[in-house]
Structure 1
Amino acid sequence: MKKRSAIVVGATGLVGQALTQQLCEDDNYVDVTIIVRTAPQYRHPKLTIKVRDFERIEARDIDFAHEVFCCLGTTRKAAGSKVAFERVDFTYPLLIASLAKKKGIPHFLVISAMGANEASRFYYSRVKGKVEKALIAMDFDQLSIIRPSLLRGERAKFRLGEKSGAALLKVMKPLLQGPLRKYQAIEGVQVAQAMRCIALYQPVQKVKVYTSQELQNIEPPLQNEDDKKTFDWSKRG
């Protein structure tokens, strides 16, 4: 496999942070660029950090890469208003996608949410559904839509609702089997692993939606026990 380059947007969040580290430690990638509002503490020889104001991001801020991983996301409560929420979860992802499209980047991967539907009666799900529809209309060579259930993991910023929901789902996990397995909470690091594996190993599809249950089952191909130790990201903290 030829060496690859990647861009991660939203690299300081739960999934984005884990994904950035995984990409930097993956021998398939020689260059990883993150576009952030605040520089993280993490450093790596492969890593390029671009601190940008997303309101003023331009085409020159996006270099060619094989993939763009869009991990931007917040909640209405955390954002403070509907306007602020839509700016992070709708406006910015579409802006980044449009710039990536102009640069000829073939694969755009975006974190959406379980239940995303522009016709949903739930505001959050409607916004996510609208983003998905707009991205599909951009006609990327490959668009991967990631729909995790409730995310588990340690965030820099505490989210009470998410923490409480994850705790409840953990208690209910024995009951969430079979068709209900898709409602199990999923570790952010596991979503990151799935996104990396989708970029590297999954068959190319024009538009593909990955459910939370599918994300739990996506793993890199293993050649031997050493590979297993190297790639078992879901066990990492």
Structure 2
Amino acid sequence: MRIIVFGATGMVGQGVLEACLLDDSVTDVLAIGRSATGRAHPKLREIRHDDFTDLTAIEDQLPGYDVCFFSLGTSAVGVSEANYRIVTYDYALTAARALLDANPDLAFCFVSGAGTDSTGKSRMMWARVKGETENALLALSERTYMFRPAFIVPLPGTRAKTKSYAAFYWVLTPLYPLLRRIIPEHVTTSSRLGQAMLVVAQTGARERVLDTVGINSAASSRNQAS
């Protein structure tokens, strides 16, 4: 598989990128982002790009890929709905449309989140915007898939960019083994999320919206197969 990753420098994206680089079925990975990943790997190539509402400048480099893993996003804390919508909805739809134009059979996997509201009725702004984003992506192609993880344990040494999130993960990450036993339906890791996305991209999924249970199940099936 040839894979494009958006958001590979983020807390979630680093785990997704790691899963891609470690997987034998993946031959090439193109990371598109504002900053370098800091990784060196024979499979990995990077493009620095600033405006994710317009990919015209790099559109000639988009053909020839099988999958896109889109984990680019931002916290809703202290962000207006208008700005949150640009980063969440506009960025994802711009990428999906450009990539599907270049690769009609491409699988597009979008990292959303538990609590996302696809009805548009939630009082939580982020839930409504993510739900609207999911709906728009699902309408683009039958090979678009939404991933709604709850608590994600990042790769060791990875920190969230938002201070409040960083503190939250600093407290809870050491408790992952306990949380996995007590509430396994709400806990996964960024690496397992990447593994699940690889499974779905290759084989499809009965449900096009996967929660943490579906994510962990898909990741386990890949580990068992290998």
Match of 1:125 in 2: 127
Match of 1:155 in 2: 159
- Structure 1 residue 136: deviation in Å? 1.5
Unmatched segments (≥5 aa) in structure 2? none
- Give the total of aligned pairs: 213
Contact persistence 2:33–2:48 (CA under 8 A): yes
What is the alpha-carbon root mean square deviation over aligned residues?
2.6
1:30-80: CA deviation from partner (whole Å, max 9, x where unpaired): 1111111111110111111011122432233422311111111111237x4
Contact persistence 1:7–1:68 (CA under 8 A): yes
- Structure 1 residue 28: deviation in Å? 1.0
Aligned counterparts of 1:208 and 1:56: Cα–Cα separation in 2: 27
C-alpha change, 1:66 and 1:175, in structure 2 (3 Å) is: closer
* Pair 1:81-2:80 in alignment: yes
* Pair 1:199-2:197 in alignment: no
Identify the structure with bigger relative contact order (alpha carbons < 8 Å, sequence gap 6+).
2
Match of 2:45 in 1: 48
C-alpha change, 1:208 and 1:65, in structure 2 (3 Å) is: same
Aligned counterparts of 1:22 and 1:174: Cα–Cα separation in 2: 20
1:147-178: CA deviation from partner (whole Å, max 9, x where unpaired): 0002222325254246427846949838955x
Aligned counterparts of 2:39 and 2:94: Cα–Cα separation in 1: 26
Range moving further from structure 2, 15-24 or 140-149: 15-24
C-alpha change, 1:29 and 1:84, in structure 2 (3 Å) is: same
- Structure 1 residue 93: deviation in Å? 0.4
Contact persistence 2:7–2:33 (CA under 8 A): yes
In the TM superposition, 1:210-229 aligns within 5 A as: 210-218=210-218, 219=220, 220=222, 222=224, 227=226
Aligned counterparts of 1:174 and 1:191: Cα–Cα separation in 2: 15
Select which of 51, 55, 58 maps to 1:57.
Answer: 55
Match of 2:20 in 1: 23
Aligned counterparts of 1:161 and 1:203: Cα–Cα separation in 2: 32
Q: Which runs of 4+ in 1 moved over 3 A?
A: 165-177, 202-205
C-alpha change, 1:25 and 1:188, in structure 2 (3 Å) is: closer
Match of 1:91 in 2: 90
Contact persistence 2:113–2:150 (CA under 8 A): yes
* Pair 1:9-2:10 in alignment: no
* Pair 1:142-2:143 in alignment: yes
Aligned counterparts of 1:156 and 1:45: Cα–Cα separation in 2: 27
Contact persistence 2:143–2:204 (CA under 8 A): no
Give identity over the alignment, percent.
26
- Structure 1 residue 84: deviation in Å? 2.7
C-alpha change, 1:77 and 1:5, in structure 2 (3 Å) is: same
Contact persistence 2:146–2:210 (CA under 8 A): yes
Using structure 2 for the length normalisation, give the TM-score. 0.82
- Structure 1 residue 100: deviation in Å? 1.3
Using structure 1 for the length normalisation, give the TM-score. 0.79
Select which of 147, 157, 164 maps to 2:168.
Answer: 164
Contact persistence 2:159–2:166 (CA under 8 A): no
1:114-147: CA deviation from partner (whole Å, max 9, x where unpaired): 1211222211110110001111221x14111100
